[in-house]
Structure 1
Amino acid sequence: MSAALNSVVHEQDVDTQHRALRFLTAGSVDDGKSTLIGRLLFDSRAILADQLDTLEKRAAGAPIDLSLLTDGLEAEREQGITIDVAYRYFATKTRKFIIADAPGHEQYTRNMVTAAAGSDAAVVLVDITKLKLDDAEVTLLPQTRRHSLLAHLLRVPSIVFAINKIDALEAPAEGYAKVSAALRKFAQAAGIEVTAIVPVSALRGDNVTQPLDADWYDGPSLLQVLEGLPTVQEKVEGQLLIPVQYVATNGEGTGHQPRTLWGRIAHGQVKAGDEVQILPSGQTAKVAEVRKAGETVAHGVAGESAGLLLDRQLDVSRGDWIVTPGSATPRQSFEATLAWLDTEPAVVGRKYWVRHGNRWVQARISAIEHRLDVNSLAEAEAHELAINEIGHVRIELQAALPVEPYTANRVGGALIVVDPTSNRTSGALLVR
């Protein structure tokens, strides 16, 4: 590694230590996700005085309902469920956090996928009171398995299981051991690397911010686990990849007007003098200048938004890609994992719109290889995918796109599927 690149990598390593950890809570309905977040906010004193006063008045002397801190929509408060993703912020002495409270109901799985796509960690809640602990092997709820699989497929780096309502058991040690064993068995079969399994009581606050005072558990609290998790670090080394989001014209008048190509660097780095290629046209040019926030800078690295001025005028528009020459090959067909989120099933041959970066292209599902059974994790034959089902499909595009395997890069390997008639977001494609 060159000295210059080594310096850039070191600077980014230092920067990631100070970044806020973005994590989501997931799991089945009524597992206590909103209450857990409310407990984290309450114990970390991240609640405004007027919010607390409103909650106390509504409680009328009863215990405060902490779930109301995240259920902001009127429909959520009326039904007692989370519908949309609610983002909340809090900080401890050592770290800042951004929480995404994802809905547990199957109908709103698409919102959970949205939250997971940009998260550093997932806290999957498991309501231990809903499980049959008398069985020889505990069977997990389907939504617990589905959310865990989706978080894994979406490459959420750290997955933490929080076994909630542990205070409701007469024998918490035995219950915790049996559910932990079931979670580890499921995770091993699904290829999920478990970061931690912690027992909590979101309602009482047991083992949420303070360690549990019990002789059967000597591990960390949930907050201690979260404080030690890494944030996602974009890949600085390797080839350049920038989806063009905006093309700005500099200067006024009818003379020469150099253009700045703006976008967030997905991976790699760029500096003046580097040769780049524009896709899908395939034209090449050299970078004359790199800008950030309107000022010329020495370089731009993965994770930063940057503007590039080229040494010659090229036909570039929103939706194009800027890459290292020869590093990406546009494709018109590819295999992918498809998480289907629409009430109308995904069928072979039907046309959809897909969005890759900032480009929209027509596409169709040419084949459904199989469907994943979230209960048995077996691959089943399928001719269509119903809502919330996950399958292995083949996609054909009307125009070639520089797709990458999702395991290599979240930006280059992810596409959303949109129904052309209803304009609903119908699915998420992860390139294999």
Structure 2
Amino acid sequence: MQPLLASLLAAAESAPTDVTLRLHLVDLLREHGETTEAIRHCGAALSVDPLAEAPRVMMRELLGVPTPPPATPSTAPASASPAQATPPASPTQSSGAAQAAAAYGAPLPLPDAGGTDDALPDPRDPTRSEQPEGPEEREDLWAERVNVTLADIGGMDIAKERLEAAVLAPMRNPELRRLYRQSRTGGVLLYGPPGCGKTFLARATAGELDARFLSVTFDGLSHEEQVDEIAAVFQAARDQAPVVLCLVGIEFLGGARSGERRGAAGRSVNALAAELDKGPEGNLGITVMGTTNAPWEVDPILRRPGRLEQSLLVLPPDRTTREVVLHQQLGEHPEVDIAQVARRSRGYSGRDLAAAVRLAEMRTDTVTTQDVLAALAEQPPSAQEWLDTASRETAVVADHTSYVGLREYLAARRGDPGGPGAPAGPDHGAWMSSPR
């Protein structure tokens, strides 16, 4: 399968209501002779918008149903004046099918962003200074270069696949970039238990895009200070683009459940929403990624289309990732059976595993497998408390389209013999969803 077609298939799965994206996929499938698959995706587009003319025309073509001829113009009575007569149809008038083919065969237009992709600063340009171009008086807003990519992350395959479909494929591929700029310009919200690698995934995304990485948090600031900080952060990001802007602990902005959404708290949320609403025109070269341990505390205003519309649930690491973490933590202890510890530590975050290794090292100089397992047994996985809280929070939220990935994961939880005190549930490591 060609890379463009594979990327479009993945993107369509992550954005099931994006009709424009779906129809472009139908065209490519038809060109490659995949008629059955094209019919399925065309039907999916019609299920979203049953009255849309373009997918109806394309479906008729795929099924071999003749396109109805254009209506014959009625002839004006002889007594009618020339101004009242209906003009005859032009012999070159296109049929509905031809119009659809022309519309979807031509390149999709880019919004006028005041420049082209060539205007983006190229981080690989040898003439470009290595010194960050952030504000001189705010070194904390200097974006950093990163030397890590998704390939450097062991395991977490599902998380990496979802990021590839939602963020990386559109940025790498001109065709997908045109589609995403036209219909989906929002950022991504990474959420899940603490210590599971949300910020690290955002950093690796910057490495994949060959962009700088700017990580900020609004924790500890008053609502008035948050408003000023938001403006400063986005201006610093524009000055240093291309950049991945990671908003860490975005739940600290405003207060979705605290009753503070009016006044100063509301102004800080509105300030961030206004920056996100500038889209590719105002934020050219900026990829926004938010992280949170408490998605139910994130103001719903920030989850609307064009803002942080995509969400990726980052769960405790799967077995492969746990082995990578344990290799890093236990490199000086060859007596430990890392595969066994990884198998019996399901549900533990990377931070939990590191803490267990430190506890075992405090007790003995020669750490064994049993020492690490004993340390794990003494501290239940931190994700368990988070999952219990998530179950309660999602149960009281009336909007069942919020955090679909979390709801699906909680629904799939089941008994797990995989470790001491491990929370029940599939060992996936990530779950992706978008508004439905």
TM-score w.r.t. structure 2 length? 0.27
TM-score w.r.t. structure 1 length? 0.27
Higher Cα radius of gyration: 2
Structure having the larger proportion of residues in helix: 2
| Higher-RCO chain (CA-CA 8 Å, sequence separation at least 6) | 2
